Structure 1
Amino acid sequence: MMGIVFGTSGWRGILCEDFIMDNVRVVIRAIADHLIASGEQHKGVIVGCDTRFMGQRFACEAARVLAGAGVKVYLCERDTPTPVISFEILRRHAAGAVNFTASHNPPEYNGVKFSPSWGGPALPETTKDIEQRANRMLGAPSCATLSLEEASSRGLLERIDPRQAYLKALEEKVDFDAIAHLGKVALNPLYGTGRGYLDEPLKQRGIPYIMINDRLDPYFGGQPPEPSESHIPDFIALVKNDPAIRLGLATDGDADRFGILDSDGSFIEPNYIIALLLNYLIRVRKLEGGVARSVATSHLVDAVARKHGIPVFETPVGFKYIGELISQDKIIIGGEESAGLTIKGHVPEKDGILACFLVAEMVAREGKSIRELLERLYAEVGRFITRRDNLKLSPQLETEYADKITNLPAEVAGVKVKEVIRIDGTKLLLEDGSWVLFRKSGTEPVVRLYGEAATEARLAEVMAAGRKFIMG
């Protein structure tokens, strides 16, 4: 094993390879030592997991290690969505949370995500400290632990179910009375933690719904638990073949990402959902503030912001940067093209459950389909079409990449480069309003190529030019 490395959402690895119990104990002990060093250990730590293999087992072992270090643990009784864990940190004024999740990754992965006391994903300075502590302990004797029974008897362990508190708080942020007039809704938690969260508010109000993939399955039905168009063909077919369904609402494995289907079964890109909700929250909800988006997210968001005269905060990829702005109460909504968003007054973490219900509220109150709402928005601010491709690099191309990205072209697809943005990857803004972004993966020989333009034809030109620049 090369060592413990925290990415944008914690440390992830493949089960039975690097993600093994000994390494998990080391990472959890490193988190405990980080909290002790910061003097926050007395506040307690939420411990939860998603529905992956060994999730509950890992969570219980984490509780034993934390308790062995003298840190109080609030152990979730069942698999729990990531945004709910974030909510519980804030509700209990806890020191943070340890969450065993690999989010939308394939089933052979698991991960440890640490969230500090402010409720969002840990910032780089925090994860770097935990990473260094963990790597110093690799190969050392086993960490001291307490049994769950002894931890409980010493007052160091409390079992919790944060579901009802979260759902009650959600009622303050979503107009469920409006949703009650929407009509039939289709739900798809993708065998993940959204079970009991997507359906319960509808069930309580007698709102008609149909739900699929709502049982525990660590294989996630043979697909990664990601609510993207390519991974939910059964859900698309369900909505398409039932004319009574007004919306399809899906969440990923840990319910921090969302997937939206219009009434005809068509998949709506997250980029467009973020922009539509921004417009809705300003125009209908009358919320005030700016908007945050990652560098890879559509400039349709910017066009809506210009229309309403509000500032745009462009962030690196990684929701922690958007979460900071939510915590500082600077923005109405923050979102990423990878289907994460949250809003003013909510948790500083991606929340796919909230996103789904906000879309349902918007469609119900506007009385139009998502496609109709999007066409109306295009008529007001202009059309934006986005795409993302993964470019796999040969060893030679990987060696050449650094030189290429240093010596950028003066124009792309016949249009001059107006500005270069390097806050995360390399983004070229063109004079006609289109743009292209190159982001190299930190874990594999892949460059993520993003592009946006006003028409499909122009986008095809921009993407082809971007591909040619990288691949030669």
Structure 2
Amino acid sequence: MEIRFGTEGWRGQIADTFTISNARLVCQAIADELHARQTAELGMVIGYDTRFLSDKFARECAQVLAANGIAVYLLDTVTPTPLLSFAVRYLGAAGGLMVTASHNPAEWNGLKWKGPHAGPVKESDIVQMAARVGKSAVQSMSFDSARRARLIRLTNLDEPYFSQLFRFLAPFNSKKRKIHVVVDAMHGAAGNYFARALEELGCQVTPLRTKPDPTFGGVNPEPIKQNLVLLKEKVLEVHADLGLATDGDGDRLGAVDARGTFVSPQILFTLLTLHLLRERQWSGAVVRTFSTTQMIDKVARLHGVALREVPIGFKYICDLMQTEDVLLGGEESGGIGIVRHMPERDGIFSGMLLLEHLLTSDQKLSEAVESLMVLIGPHAYERVDLPVAAKKKEQLLKSLRTKPRTFAGFAVKEVQTLDGIKYRLSGGGWILFRPSGTEPLLRVYAEAQDQADVKKLIEAARLLIEQGKAVLKDR
């Protein structure tokens, strides 16, 4: 079965390409790469999420690395990816492997490979490792033998991780209002970690979907609007101030306000940027991916800090975090990394900072959003994922590369191809077409000052993709 590597490692459908035998092949390649770099003696950390057989895959990976003489710190329970990344840095390990497919549907699983800096490895690292797959015989040893030889060490770093979360955040003053939060783990790995963190912060917490479930209750564990219906209902039922959700492996954040209104990751990223620059007065460049809102650009300009745009994938943000003075970086999908915490996305830490912002500004979430729009002007943003066959997808992308004069009635000012195909439009809006690297989808992103204009752009894209009708004029 073909093993296809993506932005941070490898994902595949369980029992199709994601199999025990393929996992062993990949781990053998990683072991060979670590020996070639002469970092194998530092050991590796392995964690796993709530997906089907994730614990079994984690053990198999550990047994391969152990047989290659690499000590493995195997986290002893389901843990979120940010904790795995923290553990790598805390233990001074050569890297980490997280068994997860993040926000993908339940039938998927995968391996995320983290570097010694506690963030995603570089793309060149993935390429070098991939070239080693199948080049040497897979070595493995029994789990019990590896335990006796102390090549596999069951490890729990929950308490050090919580200490890390509170390095920059003190529990809220009890004299101030007590924020009531519904915490939705979407049956994923953040489980009770997020609830505990917010309780220790001083919030009243109502937990939701914290029980591990490999089917995720039939809902993809991605904290986007259509997947957070239960969170909205619970917020309204218990009259909470807001609801916060994390994705399947806990590195992304989603939110709804007290009225049950979904607050997009674009707004959350912008609010956190504003909070760190204005309230905390931290400094450094702000990094966003190609598909992320230009609200970030406006906040950066208001505070006189540099703005960097990178291709889609947190690894590109992480690369800049290693070489430049960066404050934070984020993706449109809700993954936000704050360098002073660690160069990695952490939905739990992001949620804690959002609550600090609301308390510091003495605002409800809806009021914070309204204040933001007053500050930077109105913005509307939407993403849709449209199924499309591989052959048709390539044909569409080839056609879209040729600059049209107009799209959906807007003049096309520029075509950008940093990652996908983006049309910058008259009036300050834009639309981006980008194929998914892991699923048979074409992702379409659009932003404008008005929701009606965004809807117009999305519908034009849907017409083009689903029906193949011409909406590109005057080529």
**If the TM-score is normalised by the length of the shorter chain, which range does it land in?**
over 0.9
In structure 2, relative to structure 1, the CA distance for the partners of 1:398 and 1:233 (3 Å cut) is: closer
CA shift in 2, pair 1:205/1:274, >3 Å: closer
Of residues 320, 323, 332, the one that matches 1:325 is 320
- 1:132 is matched with 131
1:81 is matched with: 80
TM-score w.r.t. the length of structure 1 is 0.93
Paired position in structure 2 for 1:29 = 28
Q: Given the alignment of the two structures, is residue 365 of structure 1 paired with residue 364 of structure 2, yes or no? A: no
| Superposed CA offset, 1:168-211 (max 9, x none) | 01101334325874322211112222123112234446632111
Residue type of the partner of 2:342? V
| 1:188 and 2:184 correspond | yes
Find out whether 1:430 has 2:429 as its counterpart.
no
- Choose the corresponding residue for 2:197, options 201, 204, 208: 201
Q: Percent identity?
A: 35
In the other structure, the counterpart of 1:214 is: 210
Given that 1:190 and 1:225 are in contact with CA atoms closer than 8 Å, whether structure 2 keeps it comes out as: yes
Asked whether the 8 Å contact 2:295–2:379 carries over to 1, the reply is yes
**1:130-182: CA deviations, max 9, x gaps?**
22211446xxx6x2222233323333222111111111011013343258743
Alpha-carbon distance change, 395 to 130 in structure 1, aligned in 2, over 3 angstroms: closer
Label 1:429 to 1:271 Cα distance change in 2 as closer, same or farther (>3 A). same
Q: Deviations along 1:376-401, whole A, 9 cap, x unmatched?
A: 12112111111112333467743532
Q: What is the rounded CA distance, in whole Å, between the counterparts of 2:142 and 2:116 in structure 1?
A: 26
- Structure 1: distance between partners of 2:228 and 2:440: 27
Alignment coverage as a number of residue pairs = 466
Deviations 1:368-425 (A, max 9, x none): 1222112212112111111112333467743532431331213333443333321101
Residue 261 (str. 1) matches residue 260 (str. 2) = no
How far apart are the structure 1 equivalents of 2:438 and 2:111?
Answer: 17
Write out per-residue CA displacement over residues 427-449 of structure 1, whole angstroms, 9 at most, x where no aligned residue. 12123211111112345553221
The worse-fitting range, judged by mean Cα deviation, of 422-431 and 34-43 is 422-431
Contact 2:269 2:330 in 1 (8 A): yes
2-side partners of 1:98 and 1:17: how far apart? 21
Q: Secondary structure at the match of 1:199?
A: helix
User: Is 1:236 the counterpart of 2:232 in the alignment?
Assistant: yes
The AA in structure 2 aligned to 1:86 is S
The equivalences for 1:335-354 within 5 A come to 335-354=330-349
Maintained 8 Å contact 1:412/1:466 = no
TM-score (ref. length: structure 2): 0.93
Aligned-partner Cα distance in 2 for 1:281–1:185: 22
Contact kept in structure 2, 1:189 and 1:195, CA below 8 Å: yes
Matches within 5 A, 1:461-472: 461-468=456-463, 470=465, 471-472=468-469
The answer to whether the aligner puts 1:413 opposite 2:413 as a matched pair is no
Equivalent residue, structure 1, for 2:472:
none
What is the match of residue 442 of structure 2? 447
- Can you give the 5+ residue segments of structure 2 that lack an aligned partner in the other structure? 470-475
Partner of 1:270: 265
Separation of aligned partners in 2, 1:52 and 1:415: 44
Secondary structure at 1:33's aligned position in 2? helix
Aligned to 2:385: 390
* Secondary structure in 1 matching 2:412: strand
SS at match of 1:230: helix
Alignment partners' CA distance in 2, 1:100 and 1:420: 38
Aligned residue type for 1:69: N
Residue identity in the other structure for 2:75 = C
Aligned counterpart, 1:112:
111
Letter in 1 for 2:186: L
Distance change in 2, residues 1:460/1:214 (3 Å): closer
Where does the alignment leave 5 or more consecutive residues of structure 1 unmatched?
Answer: none
Which secondary structure does the structure 1 equivalent of 2:74 belong to? strand
Match among 292, 299, 315 for residue 294 of structure 2 = 299
CA distance in 2, matches of 1:279, 1:151: 49
- Residue type at the aligned position of 2:238: D
Cα 1:407–1:189, aligned 2, differ >3 Å: closer, same or farther? Answer: same
CA distance in 1, matches of 2:177, 2:344: 29
Residue aligning to 1:41? 40
From 129, 144, 148, give the equivalent of 2:143.
148
Counterpart Cα distance in 1 of 2:290 and 2:390 = 27
User: Over the residues paired in the alignment, what is the CA RMSD in angstroms?
Assistant: 2.0
Q: How many angstroms apart in 1 are the aligned matches of 2:178 and 2:424?
A: 40
Q: 1:443 to 1:358 in 2, by over 3 A?
A: closer
Q: Are residues 459 and 196 of structure 1, via their aligned partners in 2, closer, same or farther at CA, if it must alter by over 3 Å?
A: closer
Q: Within 1, Cα distance between the matches of 2:365 and 2:426?
A: 30
